[in-house]
Structure 1
Amino acid sequence: MTDFVTTSVRRLVAVWNTAPVAALVAERGLPAITAEYLRGTFAWSHAEQATRALTEHFASARFADEVEYGVLLVPDPALLDTRASLPLEVRPTSSPDVFDERLPAGVALPAGGPWQLVVSVIGSYGPSLGSYNDVLASDGFVVDGQDTRTWMTRQVWGARLLQCGATPPDCEHNERWTFTLFPGESLVAGMAESGTVLKGKVRFRLGKPDRGIGSARVAPAVLV
């Protein structure tokens, strides 16, 4: 096992076995996250290659020095749907989620088992690459043979929230507040989807698709 794999497995086992999150995983009928399960289920050489490729490809992006790439586990939405509000006890915040009722069900990863591995942003901040419109208009997002915009989705961001530990991404209590755009999701009545954590609430929301301020971030992702 490489240092990358050992470190990644330890981190995933730790975050998915915190008391409230582990209870939710068991309640929903998902396999428990153990080192043995992770090592025996996923293509770790591909994950390590994709992590390195993402880091190098987006090294010139604005705020790239703040970005950490690595592995995320995304549950089957039929069992645990991270595209919408979740129980308060699994949140590192003190208030119920805020979910814009205009949002559709959202894009889901292709069926591939109870858990799927995605390489994406795992830290507090993604890179700043402009607005939703800017990202869609660019031709610089293919990494490791995949268009990394495809999985810039609400589901992957929601899964990232569950494995962030005590400090949520895109939160006002970080050094700077940000929000993550979801260019993998279609516009809703001309508005772009994004996610943030603001005033103690996880927020799934809609906004202007041409808003490209520094707080607007993305999370390039490769499905392993």
Structure 2
Amino acid sequence: MTDFATSSIRRLVAAWDLPLVCERGLPAVTTEYLRDTFHWSRAEQATRALTSHFASARFADEVEYGVLLVPDPSKLDTRAPLPRELTAPDVFDERLPAGVALPGDGPWRLVVSVIGSYGPSLGSYNDVLASDGFVVDGQDTRTWMTRQVWGARVLQCGPTPPDCEHNERWTFTLFPGEPLVDGQAESGTVLKGKVRFRLGKPDRGIGSARVAPAVLV
């Protein structure tokens, strides 16, 4: 295996070493399971492609791309308030629908996306939808800019969640992969120890507004 695969697998095993995984009926995240289930050469290629494609984006120097493991929402739904065993009670706008889910019927899906504290700044929700610069490796990376993928990222990052006021700077992640709700755009952030799924103006393109381009492996 390459260094990329080895380091990625090690990071995922550590991140998902949670009793909740087996309690929810998900396969344990072990080195053997990850090695045998996913296409690591494809994941490495996608990581390099995302890094290169968005290298000129605002705040690109702050962004780290890599692999995220996203659970089957029928077992652990990262689109909704997260389990109380893991976080303080979330703040969830009741107007939000169920949300977009990744395709496929596997218990875990592998996504290459932003894995660190910050995504790139590429304008507002409207700006992102209007752009034609988001196709990487034949996939439109806006498709999986969703609440589910971001929620998995929050869990995977552990004690230093993304888009949190305790980071060097506070940000929020827009979800252009989700449709507008009552004319407002979905986003996620972490404030005062709580994961917050919110709605806001779709033309809000301030520097704190970030996105997380993603490729499904």
Please report the TM-score for the alignment, with normalisation by the length of structure 2: 0.99
**Letter in structure 2 aligned against 1:11:** R
Task: Give 1:112 deviation, angstroms.
Answer: 3.5
**Cα distance in 1 between the residues matched to 2:22 and 2:37:** 18
Q: Deviations over 1:111-139 (max 9, x none)?
A: 23000000000000000000000000000
Q: Does 1:198 align with 2:191?
A: yes
Letter of the 2:214 counterpart: A
Is residue 117 from structure 1 mapped to residue 113 from structure 2 by the alignment?
Answer: no
Q: Match for 2:43: what amino acid?
A: A
Whole-angstrom distance in 2 between the partners of 1:61 and 1:203:
25
Secondary structure of 1:134's match? Answer: helix
The CA distance in 2 between the partners of 1:114 and 1:38, in whole Å, is 12
For 2:70, the equivalent position in structure 1 comes to 74
Alignment partners' CA distance in 2, 1:123 and 1:222: 16
Map residues 173-192 of structure 1 onto 2, 5 A cutoff: 173-192=166-185
Deviates further, 159-168 or 33-42: 159-168
What is the rounded CA distance, in whole Å, between the counterparts of 1:201 and 1:34 in structure 2?
29
Distance 1:90 1:62 in 2: 32
Q: Which residue pairs with 2:139 in the alignment?
A: 146
Provide the rounded CA distance (Å) in 2 between the counterparts of 1:210 and 1:201: 25
Question: Are residue 6 (structure 1) and residue 6 (structure 2) matched?
Answer: yes
Question: Within the alignment, does 1:59 sit opposite 2:52 as a pair?
Answer: no
Alignment match, 1:83: 79
Identity %: 87
Aligned to 1:45: 41
Alpha-carbon distance in 2 for matches of 1:6, 1:30: 22
Aligned length: 217
1:128 aligns with 2:124: no
CA separation in 2, counterparts of 1:86 and 1:122? Answer: 18
Q: Specify which of 86, 100, 103 is matched with residue 107 of structure 1.
A: 100
Q: In structure 1, the residue corresponding to 2:66 is in which secondary structure? A: strand
Residue 27 of structure 1 and its aligned partner are, at CA, apart by: 1.1
Supply the distance in 2 between the matched residues of 1:77 and 1:88 (Cα, whole angstroms).
Answer: 16
> What is the alpha-carbon distance in structure 1 between the residues aligned to residue 59 and residue 101 of structure 2?
28
In the alignment, the residues of structure 2 paired with residue 54 and residue 86 of structure 1 have an alpha-carbon distance, to the nearest angstrom, of: 28
Unpaired segments of 5 or more residues in structure 2? none
Q: Which amino acid aligns with 1:25?
A: V
Measure the CA separation in 1 of the matches of 2:119 and 2:82. Answer: 23
Query: What's the TM-score, normalizing by structure 1?
Result: 0.96
Whether 2:155 is the aligned partner of 1:162: answer yes
Which contiguous aligned blocks of 4+ residues in structure 1 show a shift greater than 3 angstroms?
none
Equivalent position amino acid for 2:118 in 1: Y
Corresponding letter in the other structure for 2:42? H
Amino acid at match of 1:215: S
Q: Give structure 1 stretches of 5+ with no counterpart.
A: none
What is the alpha-carbon distance in structure 1 between the residues aligned to residue 12 and residue 192 of structure 2?
27
CA distance in 2, matches of 1:163, 1:113: 18
Computed over aligned residues only, the root mean square deviation of the Cα atoms, in angstroms, reads 0.7
CA distance in 2, matches of 1:166, 1:85: 17
